[in-house]
Structure formats: C-alpha cells, structure tokens
Structure 1
Amino acid sequence: MIKLSVVIITFNEEKNIERCLLSVKEVADEIIVLDSFSTDSTPLICQKYNVKFFQHAFDGHIQQKNRAITFATNAYILSLDADEELDETLIGSIKAAKANFEKEGYYLSRLTNYCGHWVKYCGWYPDKKLRLFDNRKGRWTGINPHDKYELFAGDKNAGRLKGDILHYSYYSVQDHYKQVEYFTNIASKAYFKNGKGAPLFKLVVNPIAKFIDHYFLHLGLLDGKTGFLISKISAYATYLKYKKLRNLYKQKTITN
C-alpha cells in the first residue's frame, strides 16, 4: 500500500479548515498545510491535528501549490483546497487506490455548495479535478487563479474515482462578488502578462455567451434561483476580467 500525503494551501480559512482536516484523517499518512500568513485562527486549528504546518508568502495559486508539494515526504499526493472535504464514497475509493495505485493520477468529481444549495448544473458538476496523483509524473500549471494539475504524459494513464469532493464555495452572494473582484484582478494581470488581447467585442459578446452557456446549455435553470445567480455573476466576472484587461493596456499606452 502506498503512503499518501494530503497537501492543502491556506489563508484565513478558519471557517473551513477543520472540516477539511477531519475528512482526510482515514486516508492521510501525513498532512501538509502551507499557509500564507493567516491572520485568523487557521494556524491554531491546524495545531490541534497531526499537521506539518509551514508558511510562505503567497505569490500565485500555481506557485503556492507546487511549493506546498515540496514539503511532502511521499510521492503520492492528494491535493485539496481548505474549503473542500471528501465524502464517504470518495474516502473508500481513495483507500482502494492506495492499495492498488494503477494510474499516474486520478480525477475526482467536485460537488459545490452555493449558499446552502448543492449545484448540479451550470457546468459546475461533476467538475472533474485531477487531485490524486504520483507527483513524479506531473506538475501544477494553468493561468492564475485557475490552476490545474497536468500529467507530463497527458491523460492516457489517468483514472477516475467514485465519490465527490464536497466544495463549500460561498456562504453568501456577497462572498461570490468578493471572489469575482479578487479573481478578476489576478486573471486580468495574468492575461496582460501573457499578451492576451482584449478587443471590445469580447467585452460585449463573451459575458452574454457565458450566461447562455451556464443557464441554458448547462441547464442552470434547473438549479432555480441559484442557477440564475451563478450564471449572472459568472457573466459579470467575464465582463469585469476583460474590462480590467483593457484598462491595463490603456495604462500601458499612457505611460509609453
């Protein structure tokens, strides 16, 4: 049976971290927490459990997740966010995978709780994530803040496990808007750095396309009021990202 390191990054996660830690106790041979100098009780909560706790200034989701893995003593990693937990079915699936780790990595489904509602549509479920992997076979990549783990050989030797990661994303609609502001700041800067264009039509067309995709094509309407809110705010986030990106190009033009 392989030994498994559970790796989590945190910043001010006192609402969530204990639930996450309790959910992995049956599958973890060690738990690594890399914290970005939380100012709440996150460090104190971690001290209550058998956690290897480290701190480093946050310089990007991708960078921090790759850094966190370097503290693990095992090659086999289960990567979770602090606002996630494993359901009972997934715990059993991970135990079975530990006994016979046939693949280089495994995709896990993620089910999101939005203000008390489990979101089954809007393109949010099953929301496959490669979170259980042999870290010698891949690396965290993507464009911040949207990180993803990629196997060097691609998905040809990846599997999928039964069960869900339960994701407690937003406790209020205000939380969602706050994260939109935060994520669009990061995304627009990452796009600007990579030279991604921001023509005016994207400011108009892309938000509309995002709403149609979430609410109609991915049946967000079946999630009722929650589906409408998610679709509307996702469209707004798309608009805001390109608006901020256009502003960055305007600032560059002015300074030049």
Structure 2
Amino acid sequence: MAKISAVIITFNEAKNIGRCIESLQPVVDEFIILDSLSTDDTCDIIKRHGLTPVQRAWTGYSESKNYANSLTTGDYILSIDADEALSPALQQAILQVKAAPKAEVYEVNRLTNYCGHWIRHSGWYPEYKIRLFKKGLTQWAGLIHEELIFNQTAYTTQRLEGDLYHYSYPTIESHIRKIIPYSALAAEKDFKAGKRYRLVTHGLIKPWFMFMKKYFLQAGFLDGFYGFVIAVNSAYERYLRYLRFHELRKNQSTR
C-alpha cells in the first residue's frame, strides 16, 4: 500500500483550513502544512485537528511548495490549497490509488464555488489539475499560476473520478481583490520577457474578446448571473494587465 503525504501552504486561511483538513483525514497518512506566519486563527485550527504547522516566512508559491514537498516522507504527494477540499467520490478514488497505484501522476477535476454557486461552465469546468504525484518526480516553477516541471520525459498519468471542490471566491469583492495582484504579476512577467502591449490590441480588443469567450463561447450564460460576473471580471483582468504594462513601460522611459 502506498503512503500519501498531503502538502498545504497557508496564510490567514482560518475560514478554509478546517474543511480542507477534514476532507483529507480519511485519505492521507501524513500532513505537511507550511504556514507563512498567519495572523488569524489558522494555526490554532490546525492544532485543534491534532496537527502541527511548520512556520516559515513567505518566499513565493513555487519555492514554498517545493520546500514543503521536501519535508514529506510518503510515496506520493497530494498537493492541495487551503481553500480546496476532496469530494466523497474523489476520496474513494484516492483510496483506490493507495491500495494499488497504477500511475505516477494523477489529475483531478476542480469544481469552483463562486459566491455559494457551483460554476460548471465559463471555462472553469472541467478544469483538470495535477495534484497527486510520486515524490521526487517533479517540482513547482513559476511566480504566478505555478506549474509542475517533471524530472523525466516519460511518466504514466491517470485521471481520477470525483471533484476537487474549490471555495476560492466567497464574494465578488474577493474575486476582484485577487485579480489586481495577479494582473500586475502577469504584466510584469511579460514586460521582463520583452513583449509589447498595444492600446488597441491589449487595451481594447483582448478585454472585449475575453468577455465574449467566457460568456458565449464557454457558455458562461448557463451559470446565470455569476457567469456574467466572471466574464466581466475576466475582461477587467486583461484590461488591468494593459494598464500595469503601460505603467512599467512609462517608468522605464522616464528613467
């Protein structure tokens, strides 16, 4: 039987961490929770569940996850965010992996809860993510939307039944608050890579196309009011990218 280690990174996740841990407890053999010096009740909640967080100053998503992975002792790592939880069907699928692993890498289908509503369209579902993988096979890379880089070109992959519940946006405001720093990081990444942003293309066409894509091409209208909100906010994120890029270019010219 394979041993599975759960890895979670936290910072002020008091609203989410309890639900996350409780969904993992029937499945995993070890918890590695790396906390970036939370100032709310996150660590108290972790301890009430019989676990001890590892506390360490924030060093970025990829570096933090790689450090936490290095602390695990299991055969497989289950990498999960504090605002996520395993559905009962996904729990059963992972228990089957524990009993008889058939692959080195497993994908899960993430289902996002937006303001209390499950989003099944808008390009948000299905959304397959690699979250369960053999230890030592891969590492995280990237400043935003970190991704797994594999140490070998050949490995076996399988998709698991069930959903990974994602409670990322309890309010519309929380979505907007997340958009602002992510758009800035995306623009800064493109700026450093030497890309060029133009007013008509990036400031006007791309935001408008993003709305059309989310709401019509990806059937966001079937998600009702919140599908419309997601489409608007997605367009807004693209527009903010342009503004941040323009600001960076202007500052460079001034210097």
TM-score by length of 1: 0.94
**Partners of 1:68 and 1:246 in 2: how far apart?**
37
Secondary structure (helix, strand or coil) at the match of 2:181 reads: helix
Aligned residue in 2 for 1:228: 228
1: distance between equivalents of 2:129 and 2:25? Answer: 21
Alpha-carbon contact 1:104-1:151 (below 8 Å) kept: no
In the alignment, the residues of structure 2 paired with residue 157 and residue 74 of structure 1 have an alpha-carbon distance, to the nearest angstrom, of 19
1:126 maps onto 2:118 in alignment: no
CA distance change for structure 1 residues 194 and 101 in 2, over 3 Å: closer, same or farther?
farther
Q: Alignment partner of 1:180: what SS?
A: helix
Correspondence for 1:26: 26
> Which position in structure 1 is the counterpart of 2:95?
95
Aligned to 1:179: 178
SS in 1 for 2:147: strand
Partner of 2:67: 67
Q: Between Structure 1 and Structure 2, how many residues are aligned? A: 254
Distance 1:75 1:188, change over 3 A: farther
AA matched with 1:169 = S
CA contact (8 A) 1:75 1:136 kept: no
Q: Secondary structure at the match of 1:241?
A: helix
After TM superposition, the structure 1 stretch with the greater mean CA deviation from structure 2, 221-230 or 186-195, is 186-195
Q: How far did 1:49 drift?
A: 2.0
Q: Deviations over 1:16-74 (max 9, x none)?
A: 00000000001111111111111101111111123341122223222221222112122
Deviation at 1:155, TM superposition (A): 7.7
CA RMSD of aligned residues (A): 1.6
Q: Does 1:158 align with 2:157?
A: yes
Match of 1:112 in 2: 112
- For 2:61 and 2:187, the matched residues in 1 are separated by 15
Aligned partners of 2:28, 2:245: CA distance in 1, in Å? 41
Preserved contact between residue 130 and residue 148 of structure 1 (Cα < 8 Å): no
Query: Who is 1:199 aligned against?
Result: 198
Which runs of at least 4 in structure 1 moved beyond 6 Å after TM superposition? none
CA distance in 2, matches of 1:25, 1:240: 40
SS of 1:196's equivalent in the other structure is coil
Greater mean deviation of Cα atoms: 76-85 or 57-66: 57-66
Report the alpha carbon displacement of residue 185 of structure 1 after superposing the two structures with TM: 2.7
Q: Secondary structure at the match of 1:5?
A: strand
Do the aligned partners of residues 102 and 117 (structure 1) sit closer, same or farther apart at CA in structure 2, a change above 3 Å counting?
A: same
Gaps of 5+ in 1: none
Partner of 1:188: 187
- After TM superposition, give the deviation of residue 221 of structure 1 in Å: 0.6
**C-alpha distance in 1 between matches for 2:195 and 2:209:** 19
CA distance in 2 between partners of 1:191 and 1:64 (Å): 23
Q: Distance in 2 between matches of 1:109 and 1:52?
A: 29
The alpha-carbon distance between structure 1 residues 156 and 30, as it changes in their structure 2 partners (threshold 3 A), is closer
Alignment of 1:50-89 (within 5 A): 50-89=50-89
Cα deviations across residues 117-152 of structure 1 (Å, max 9, x unaligned)?
1000001011100000013211213x4321122434
Q: Is the 8 A contact 1:110 1:127 kept in 2?
A: yes
Q: Helix, strand or coil: the match of 1:37?
A: coil
Quick check: 1:2–1:76 contact (8 Å CA) kept in 2? yes
Q: Secondary structure at the match of 1:51?
A: coil
CA shift digits 1:95-136 (9 cap, x unpaired): 001112221110000000000110000010111000000132
Residues in 2 aligned to 1:154 and 1:4: alpha-carbon distance in whole angstroms: 23
The one-letter code sitting in structure 2 at the alignment partner of 1:10 is T
5 Å-filtered alignment, 1:39-58, equals 39-58=39-58
